Structure 1
Amino acid sequence: MTLCCSPNRNWPSVATIALIGGLGPAIMAVPRASAETGFAEYTELDVIEVTAGVPTPGDPRLQAANISVLTGEELQRRERLTLGETLQELPGVDSITAGNQVGKPVIRGLSGYQVQVLSNGMGVDYQQYGARHPPNIDPFLAERIEVVRGASSLLYGSGALGGAIDVQGPAFDFSGDGTLQTSADTLLVYHSNNDQWDAGLKARANNDILSLYTGLIRRSAGDLDTPNAATAPGSGDPTDPKFTGRLPHTDFDQANAQFGMGLMTGIGEFDVRISQWNDENNYLLPTGKGIGLWLRNDEVQVSGDLPLASGWTLNPTLSWQNNLRRANSEGRTREQGYDGTVHLEFDLYQARLEAMHDALGPFDGGTLGMEYAHKTQYSRGTTVLAPGGEVSNLAFFLFESKDMGPLTLQTGLRHDWHSVTADASKTSGDLGFSGRVTHDYSVLSGSLGAVYRLTDRLALAGNLARGFRAPSLFELYADGVHGGVAAIQQGNPDLDAEKSLNLDLGLRWQSPRLRASATLYRNSISDYIYLQDTGEARGNLPVFVYQQDDALLTGLELEAHWDLTDRLELSGALELVRGTNDRTDEDLPLLPADSLRLAATYRFDDRGPIREPYLTLKVRHNASKDAAPGEPFAQFDDMPFGTASTDAYTLMDLEAGIALRAFGNRLARLNLTVSNLFDTEYRDFLDTYKGYTLSPGRDIRLSLNVPFGG
């Protein structure tokens, strides 16, 4: 969806749009005085596309939903191994980790099935019931990542209670005069902490009819290193970790790839995208033993962009996803081969049709759409971690926008029919019943939002949205040892669908040198689903069972980006989130600790061949955080070593980079990042290794990106 610059919309005097959470501007237009009128007119410099949660073209600052976008050099600089780590500097976004692995996004205290991850606008399933199950997506292969904070079921259906993250591949380019144009980018990265090497290649070719791209990356890492510290038992302090220094069984290997082809025809554009993600890794268990895992995800998408008469455009998409998860029993690492303990595989077929329109009736523009999804899952392992079965969903939705002077209204409705069926014939173990058991859910969701432009620099935004999430096969019928979290987990077939009512209220300021926002939110969730420790044990493992109660999440997000001078940039973000179980008045599980991030960047003069040199100092402070009673990993508060609750900590990171002229007008970039500069001992509350070890020590990351062609 293309944003255009129009002087009759009270645009700022310099239209710099804070697309990156207040941490980096994207210049759209600059003003010039009209010789005829004397008023400012705008010369378009760049085109910025916003697709997530947006019914019509417009300034992202003037959308009712809270949207952040990472793209271009900013995405390249933040790109890391996992999706969660790539996004965690955005306000309201955190990451569940296991050392430096996993990177599972958390938005406003919600994660897993409560946050919808998408690939080019289509929902993906990565068996996200597990705290240590990462999205099967490589950020290096993305061209842009859009994050919507707050309930987003209107456009993305079941699973978007907390928000949505759309990871998009390269856009197809049909520019040119018929001759073939080619370009490529290479990436080489080294991490000192775990001796990790990354090597990647992205290439493009296009003319005015055909557009192609491909991407490949290989990542290989040894064991993780934490600061050396006293270890328990034997140290005299039971909260000391069981392991420090070099941690065994924390290595991994990945090989990921994508390919895309676009064709421009007389009736519109047709695209095909193919991707594969492969990961094999070990996890360290509290016993000191390792457990091996093999993960694979394949995707194929076919889509179209078909302009019609009278301002309508059809966007059909068909997709197929195959996901495979295999895991060993305790003590058998990946080097020893697969032992058949956990074997889960599913096929997910989806069809989505969007009809986007200009002015229609009382509205200035919007989207009508329908979506159908069907998933078939097989559980073939000796442990019934999750059952086999089927999940289907049919939905119809509309999203419309109306401008009335300084006021913009946005509203929409959606209805979903969702079905979950556990099937004993698709499950190798005992489910406690034979045949099939089906659970049906019918839910209406919607949103109503408004943005009021108080001045040409200040806007007030509010959004009221209803979301929903149907329980998963795992939450309904799980029954077995989950080795990755050292616990037995059981489902609950009596679960109802979660339903939320989310209210956002925000102030957004934008001037040539200062971009800032303040957002308050309240998310009330009926029948909130969570894992609870029963207090029982089986074979020395705690037993966790899914339950549900009403819950309330509230929070505050502050962010600012200040160009103090032409060379010195200051930025900061504050995040506070509270979540309470209405019945018990206790904290919700796995909420992030309160955090404050500050950064200062100084940009030096170019010197000879060295271009755009900069130095950034970052400080991040996380407050102390007590584990909620009975939440996953809370058992470590009662062990003779480690802890589930964490102390406050402050870390410093250093980043520096230069650019060098490479080929044509493109720049090669060399970046150095030192994370945890002083090798501080700490435990992050969302690091699932916190119970028996420390979070990662100092890491020196050196990356080189060299472009060719273009």
Structure 2
Amino acid sequence: MSPFSLQPSLLARALLSALLVTPAAFAAGVDSASMQAHDPDHEPVDLSAVQVRASILPGTVEDLARPVEVLAGERLDAAKASSLGETVNKLPGVQSSYFGTGVGRPIVRGFDGARVQVLSDGLGSGDVSTVSADHAVSIEPFLANQIEVLKGPSTLLYGSGAIGGAVNVIDGRIPEAATDEPLQGRAELRAGTVNDEKTGMLRLDGTSASGHLVFHFDALHRETGDYAIPGFAESARQLAAEGETPDPATSGTLANSALRTDSGALGMSWVGERGFAGVGYSLFNTHYGVPGHSHDDGDGHGHDADDGHDHGDDTHGDDAVHILMDQRRTEVRAGLDELGVFETLRIKFADTRYTHTEFEGEAIGTVFDNSSKEARLELVHQPWAGWRGAFGVQWAHRKFDAVGAEAFVPGTEGNDTGLFWIGERRSGDFKFELGARHDRNTIDAVPQPLAPLRANSRKFEALSGSAAVQWELSDRFHASLGLDRSQRVPTAEELFSSGLHVATGTMEVGDETLGVETANRLELGLRWHGERIDLGAAVYGIRYADFIYQASPTSLDDPGNPLLDGGVPVRLWNQADARFHGMEADATIALVDNDRGAWDLRVFGDIVRGKLASGGRERDVDVEVFHGGHVHRHAARISEQGNLPRLAPARLGSELSWSNGTWRASLGAVRYLKQDRVATNETTTPGYTLVDAHLAWHRDTPSGNAWEVFLDGSNLLDQEARPHTSFLKDLAPLPGRGIAFGVRAFF
């Protein structure tokens, strides 16, 4: 049983009741002749032909010159996990951060955090998942209809926070069109062995008799206990460094890794012949443990001299660190078509209230509050001089506050206004895409006591431009070339942080003088569609000027050794030139298709390299850390050379799938290679292989409903897997062998 769920929540009880009665009630109460297999969520989907909602100009994956990956239908059902990062983790060029099963943020081509924007149908998620590695994304993947990953800079559409890419989750919570049937939906119940998971989900969509009033409702409840692991939580390297012999009783389970999540939404729209207007309200509440972290009674931090973590066996004790996150969001959306010189007008607005409370046992340690408002206006215009394009305006306001002994970031208030245009034009076998965006950004910070900020207000301007061409060499072979210049403004955390960051076990120090970083990218992409094989590949290079990263300084008093503050490593936000390059490929081969079924083989791989490129420059700096009510001053040296930290390792993966009428199955494996291209003071990570399998049986009923029973296996070899992208790689491995099973209903 999850320690976070001793009493069933009201949402959980309501959801369970609805799941038990809904399919039968609808089957009896709706004319069976009108109930066809109208819901595509359980059907095979040609992902290359799916409309990409993240692009303002309508187009499919095949139409766009920029690299995009889409999950929908059966592929999305098989990939859904408790975090967004884990859900998209098997797409080429995409991996996940990891801070226990409650936290996983997408990493796109080696970029994460403030460089990858997470969106809910085109608007920011409104959480603070970029502030710290232990903060969860406030989007529930199980409720998604479609997930889109824009690989490469997406600053033109979504601002500087998307300089590395964007992940757009489509959930349809505010309807934009009438449903196919008066009432339709889907539901799912599942359980899992690796963590005693219990998840229930329900979604309903319907249209009034007039055809103008459309509603949406969804709800989800998930509970898990601590998950099983192969061996001990701490790696052999960590145990050797500490000189400890672990208690055999602690083997096999990762303490303090339980999770409970509740999510729900209600939306309603008026839909007419030329447009729609709607409003929606949603909530997301999650409670999860932070494995590998506990606080002692001495100084309130419990960090040792080696890595800033206290690794007691009793992390379920009174000092265990756990997080309660709550978000409430109100959205308004409207659209109008056929406006003369303009094809469409779309308006979006979201008001998000977010609270994130970190507990040390029963006591409140730190509270993060984030209040944000965001609005977008998009106008698609008729072709001008052969160019079909769209204008857009985006405005965002954010007020952030952190209160508590471990509030390493001061309260800030920020505004961002962006104006952009994108366009496309076809000429014979070529399609050209152009775009430009200008942003103005202000960040105001509240000085901390005893630690006055040298510059508590900063203003930035960012200018980005992009050009791409797609060449249809034949009906089957397409090539694309993209060139981007993108800029990103520093975040409040990079500018103003100063103090103990418990999640990473470091003293984090910002730099108020940081400037805009600039990325220049060149990418070549190829796509081949044969009778029995689909192949995609891309190679890219990125040159960064003034790349913002965390440096590991060395002490001038003790040359060559990492700078420590009270035994905790110090990390400085710094800027230097950097270079990234990588490649990825994905192929699907139709092996056999006969009366015994269709067999397909999918293979994929990706690799990325990133390193500083400042010519081996070193410089001396004065470091000030505000900690424990005092300012600590150090003299240190920064070396601006070498690999960048926590870079995603290279991967090779394959999956053999089979389908035959009502049955489908698959067996896959992904090999994560050893990561030995590490940054200063960073350790290497051994490689590992994750094997998974899926089996599902699907049945359509005479009434037009459908049922599906599924069985999923993960990490079937029970391998000890420690992602290099994780701050907890030596404290918290991935879950061990697990079996998930359940039933889905479509009605």
Gaps of 5+ in 2: 1-40, 294-308, 554-561, 615-639
Post-superposition CA distance 1:569-595 (Å, at most 9, x none) = 000111010001112441112211100
* Contact kept in structure 1, 2:179 and 2:206, CA below 8 Å: no
| Matching of residues 359-378 of structure 1 within 5 Å | 359-363=383-387, 365-378=388-401
Deviation at 1:532, TM superposition (A): 2.4
The residue number in structure 2 matching 1:484 is 503
* Contact kept in structure 2, 1:241 and 1:692, CA below 8 Å: no
- Looking at structure 1, the residues matched to 418 and 346 of structure 2 have their Cα atoms a distance apart, in angstroms, of 16
Secondary structure in structure 1 of the residue aligned to 2:98: strand
Deviation at 1:509, TM superposition (A): 0.7
Post-superposition CA distance 1:549-604 (Å, at most 9, x none) = 11111100100111112210000111010001112441112211100110001223
- Looking at structure 1, the residues matched to 236 and 150 of structure 2 have their Cα atoms a distance apart, in angstroms, of 42
Post-superposition CA distance 1:367-402 (Å, at most 9, x none) = 111111111122222333221121111111000111
The residue number in structure 2 matching 1:5 is none
Are 1:691 and 2:730 counterparts?
Answer: yes
The residue number in structure 2 matching 1:615 is 665
The residue number in structure 2 matching 1:86 is 87
| Matching of residues 95-110 of structure 1 within 5 Å | 95-110=96-111
Post-superposition CA distance 1:89-122 (Å, at most 9, x none) = 1101000112433111100000000001111101
Higher mean alpha-carbon deviation, 450-459 vs 162-171, is at 162-171
The residue number in structure 2 matching 1:303 is 333
* Contact kept in structure 1, 2:342 and 2:379, CA below 8 Å: no
The structure 2 residue matched to 1:646, chosen from 661, 675, 685, is: 685
Post-superposition CA distance 1:489-514 (Å, at most 9, x none) = 12111111221112211111113432
The residue number in structure 1 matching 2:492 is 473
- Looking at structure 1, the residues matched to 238 and 369 of structure 2 have their Cα atoms a distance apart, in angstroms, of 44
| Matching of residues 448-467 of structure 1 within 5 Å | 448-467=467-486
- Looking at structure 2, the residues matched to 664 and 568 of structure 1 have their Cα atoms a distance apart, in angstroms, of 31
* Contact kept in structure 2, 1:672 and 1:702, CA below 8 Å: yes
Q: Which amino acid aligns with 1:25?
A: D
| Matching of residues 82-231 of structure 1 within 5 Å | 82-127=83-128, 128-170=130-172, 172=175, 174-175=177-178, 181-207=182-208, 208-228=211-231
- Looking at structure 2, the residues matched to 59 and 143 of structure 1 have their Cα atoms a distance apart, in angstroms, of 16
- Looking at structure 2, the residues matched to 524 and 192 of structure 1 have their Cα atoms a distance apart, in angstroms, of 46
Higher mean alpha-carbon deviation, 452-461 vs 575-584, is at 575-584
The residue number in structure 1 matching 2:695 is 656
Q: Once superposed, what is the RMSD of the aligned Cα atoms?
A: 2.5
* Contact kept in structure 1, 2:45 and 2:73, CA below 8 Å: no
- Looking at structure 1, the residues matched to 426 and 164 of structure 2 have their Cα atoms a distance apart, in angstroms, of 27
Higher mean alpha-carbon deviation, 694-703 vs 448-457, is at 694-703
Identity of aligned residues (%): 27
Deviation at 1:313, TM superposition (A): 1.3
Higher mean alpha-carbon deviation, 265-274 vs 344-353, is at 265-274
> Normalising by structure 2, what TM-score?
0.81
* Contact kept in structure 2, 1:501 and 1:525, CA below 8 Å: yes
Q: How has the CA–CA distance of structure 1 residues 58 and 378 changed in structure 2, closer, same or farther, with 3 Å as cutoff?
A: closer
Q: How has the CA–CA distance of structure 1 residues 316 and 677 changed in structure 2, closer, same or farther, with 3 Å as cutoff?
A: same
Deviation at 1:276, TM superposition (A): 1.4
- Looking at structure 2, the residues matched to 380 and 653 of structure 1 have their Cα atoms a distance apart, in angstroms, of 43
Post-superposition CA distance 1:142-179 (Å, at most 9, x none) = 111111100110111011111111111127264479xx
The structure 2 residue matched to 1:250, chosen from 233, 242, 257, is: 257
The residue number in structure 2 matching 1:403 is 426
Secondary structure in structure 1 of the residue aligned to 2:206: strand
| Matching of residues 332-481 of structure 1 within 5 Å | 332-333=360-361, 336=362, 338-339=363-364, 341-363=365-387, 365-424=388-447, 430-433=450-453, 437-481=456-500
* Contact kept in structure 2, 1:344 and 1:378, CA below 8 Å: yes
* Contact kept in structure 1, 2:85 and 2:96, CA below 8 Å: yes
Secondary structure in structure 2 of the residue aligned to 1:629: coil
* Contact kept in structure 1, 2:48 and 2:61, CA below 8 Å: no
Q: How has the CA–CA distance of structure 1 residues 236 and 525 changed in structure 2, closer, same or farther, with 3 Å as cutoff?
A: closer
| Matching of residues 495-644 of structure 1 within 5 Å | 495-534=514-553, 535-566=562-593, 567-583=598-614, 584-604=640-660, 606=661, 611=662, 613-626=663-676, 628-630=678-680, 634=682, 644=683
Secondary structure in structure 2 of the residue aligned to 1:259: strand
* Contact kept in structure 1, 2:185 and 2:746, CA below 8 Å: yes
Q: Which amino acid aligns with 2:524?
A: L
* Contact kept in structure 2, 1:136 and 1:277, CA below 8 Å: yes
Are 1:260 and 2:267 counterparts?
Answer: yes
Q: Which amino acid aligns with 1:348?
A: S
Q: How has the CA–CA distance of structure 1 residues 231 and 160 changed in structure 2, closer, same or farther, with 3 Å as cutoff?
A: closer
Q: Which amino acid aligns with 1:141?
A: L
Secondary structure in structure 1 of the residue aligned to 2:255: coil
- Looking at structure 1, the residues matched to 157 and 286 of structure 2 have their Cα atoms a distance apart, in angstroms, of 30
- Looking at structure 2, the residues matched to 514 and 119 of structure 1 have their Cα atoms a distance apart, in angstroms, of 33
> Normalising by structure 1, what TM-score?
0.85
Are 1:25 and 2:46 counterparts?
Answer: yes
- Looking at structure 1, the residues matched to 238 and 52 of structure 2 have their Cα atoms a distance apart, in angstroms, of 56
Q: Which amino acid aligns with 2:737?
A: R
- Looking at structure 2, the residues matched to 162 and 278 of structure 1 have their Cα atoms a distance apart, in angstroms, of 28
Gaps of 5+ in 1: 1-19, 29-47, 635-643
Q: Which amino acid aligns with 2:148?
A: E
Q: How has the CA–CA distance of structure 1 residues 359 and 614 changed in structure 2, closer, same or farther, with 3 Å as cutoff?
A: same
Post-superposition CA distance 1:64-88 (Å, at most 9, x none) = 1101111223212211111001101
